[in-house]
Amino acid sequence: MSACVDSCNFSQFVVSLGSSAMVNLGLVADPTGGTPDLALAKHSHSLLMMLREKTKGNLDGDEQRLLEALINEIGGKLASGR
């Protein structure tokens, strides 16, 4: 098994997706020097929304609030054009 099984959790995974979306929206500097990519930001947002549906009823309160906050923040940025 991967070492991640013991050290990774749902919140870290969701934050990773959210961070990727923020980089692809150009709101956070890309550590690799890449350029913003709106299609990838939309994809990350779609993945977060899919996770919300697939995990409905199985998250603790903190995980649910984190997931909702990221979906709302990224969705708002997408709707406003950044």
Residues 6+ apart with CB under 8 A from 44: 17, 18, 20, 21, 24, 74
Write the pLDDT tens digit of every residue in 54-65: 999 999 999 999
Q: What is the pLDDT of residue 74?
A: 97
Q: What is the pLDDT of residue 8?
A: 84
Q: What is the pLDDT of residue 4?
A: 60
> Phi/psi of residue 27, each to 5°?
-85, -20
Domain count of the chain?
1
Structural domain span for residue 16: 4-79
